Amino acid sequence: MKILKKLQCWLQRVVIFFFASTILAVVAYRWIPVYFTPLMFIRCYQQASRGEEVRMRHHWVPLSEMSKYMPVAVMASEDQRFMEHHGFDFDAIDKAIKEHQDGKRQRGGSTISQQTAKNVFLWPEASWVRKGLEAYFTVLIELCWSKQRIMEVYLNSIEMGDGIYGAEAVAQWHFATTAAGLTRQQCALIAATLPNPLRFSSKNPSKYMLRRQTWIMRQMKHIDLLPE
């Protein structure tokens, strides 16, 4: 019985520590820039293990110093109901499930909020454990952060190329400009790479990428600028 009580006490402390530390981290990141993410460290380790030069290009900039078209482009590409939902787009999830059941090409059902939760707090490999934690962190950031803050963190932490993270870094390395100087066309091209930025390049786009860029630009016409 003493062992069971000790185990119960230990588990309670672990649970309390988990909730306290994760809530504190989410609240802190409401104001503190996210300079590093788990994915950045994982990619650096993968590069080093392959004997390659370690590449990590990341420059945090406020949302106000990005092109006004960058949020519109990623909403058009990744999450057109971003301003309407509270972290989960159940219509998109339902469509993704139906397409999977019908054997069609699978679409992503993750919102920008879910992707931000994964990028900042978790690891990339899919599993039920990660999905559960992703949902937990998504709820937290939707409660604690504004939509503008979620978008700011997303656009600074998302992988946008080999060793490239965030809008400022991809603007510098692929377009020789700044995040503020990105054009509408360039923003759409960057957004077109997001399903797989290691396979698709905004610097050397394929014909498929250019077609996807055109589609995203058409969708952008129906999406309002992100409110200040």
50 — phi, psi (to 5°)? -90, 5
- In 3D space, the residue among 228, 224, 227, 177 whose CA is nearest the CA of residue 202 turns out to be 177
- For the chain, strand residue ranges (E) read 57-58, 159-161, 164-165
pLDDT digits (tens, 9 = 90+) for 1-34: 677 777 888 888 889 999 999 999 999 999 999 9
Residue 100: is its pLDDT beyond 80? no
- What is the per-residue pLDDT across 144-175, written as a single tens digit (0 to 9) for each? 999 999 999 999 999 999 999 999 999 999 99
pLDDT tens per residue across span 198-220: 999 999 999 999 999 999 999 99
Helices (H), 112-183: 112-121, 128-144, 147-157, 167-175
What per-residue confidence (pLDDT) applies to 94?
63
**102 in any annotated domain:** no
Say if 107 falls within a structural domain. Answer: no
Q: Is residue 89 part of a domain?
A: no
Question: Is residue 190 predicted with pLDDT exceeding 60?
Answer: yes
Amino acid 99: pLDDT: 56
Give me 49's structure tokens: 């293990």
Number of domains in the chain: 1
Does any domain span residue 14? Answer: yes
Tens of pLDDT, residue by residue over 24-75, are: 999 999 999 999 999 999 999 999 999 999 999 999 999 999 999 999 999 9
Residues 6+ apart with CB under 8 A from 16: none
Domain limits for position 19: 1-31
The alpha carbon torsion through 179, 185, 189, 191 (nearest 10 deg) reads 60
Contact 123, 130 (CB under 8 A): yes
Residue 26 domain-assigned?
yes
- Model confidence at 108, pLDDT cuts 50, 70, 90, reads low
pTM: 0.91
In a domain, 9, yes or no: yes
The pLDDT of residue 96 is: 61
| Residue 15 domain-assigned (yes or no) | yes
Structure-token pair, residue 91: 């219509």
Residue 155 identity? L
Closest CA to 208 of 193, 186, 224: 193
